[in-house]
Copies of this chain bind each other. A is one copy, B any other.
Amino acid sequence: MGCSSCCDSASCVRRVPVFNGLSDVEINQIEGLVDSRPYDKGAFVFREGERSDSLFVVNEGLIKLTQSSRDGKEHILKFLFPGDYFGQFALLQNKQNYVNAEIIESSTVCLIHRKDFIPLLENNTTLAYNFLLSMSEQLHHAEDWAAALHMLEVDKRLAKILLYFHSKDTLNSKVNLPASKKEIAAMIGTTAETLSRKLNQFEELNLIKVSRRVIHILELEDLQHLAGTNRS
């Protein structure tokens, strides 16, 4: 393993919240177990129906998790940004993946093999507890999003997804849309035409400024208010 792989693995483990709270000794031990792989845009880490036996972590790049129907439709479940993990279902359940993991920007992915990861989980209650917290948070997001798709108007759903992308890099007020406007429209359950019209409305309200796939967020609090996410 060359130097670049070592450095990748180190940054990879430390950036994943699931490993927060572990001691330096434990982190170093985990870093020694991590492998790092480059993927080109368009490649798949795994496809729906395939097995895999690792926990994968995005170190650099951008990945989307999708499901496809028999007639070729695609449903984007989520985008994965640096620090996000995936593959836990096939890993923990020892079953086939139920999603495709497709690289949408050249990525470096770290992986910890089942034979190393399961003993870690069994011997480290902080890690098991962190993982449980993270899964409970993911279930929360999945259920919240399903409810939003069902109950909220398009402009609220659009505000929610923009805020979600923004949450991945809160220091940057510019959001790069990780997919085409047609794909984003499908994700929020609307048409590309309605999405364009809503983006124009948001611009007229001075909430955002749009330049192709870059959305500059001008009024974060107003956007949060519109999405209903600042009610607490």
Contact = CB atoms under 8 A, between A and B. Distances in A.
Contact of A133 (B70, B77, B93, B140): B93
Contact of A146 (B75, B88, B93): B75
A129 B135 contact: no
A152 interface: yes
User: For chain A, what secondary structure do more than half of its interface residues adopt (helix, strand, loop), or is it mixed?
Assistant: helix
Given A132-B131, A135-B136, A143 B92 contact: no
Chain A interface extent, by class: 35 or more
A150 B189 contact: yes
A228 interface: yes
Interface of A: 67-70, 73, 75, 77, 88-89, 92-93, 96, 98-99, 121-123, 125, 128-129, 131-133, 135-140, 142-147, 149-152, 186, 189, 228, 232
6 contacts: A69-B151, A77-B143, A88-B136, A93-B140, A122-B125, A128-B128
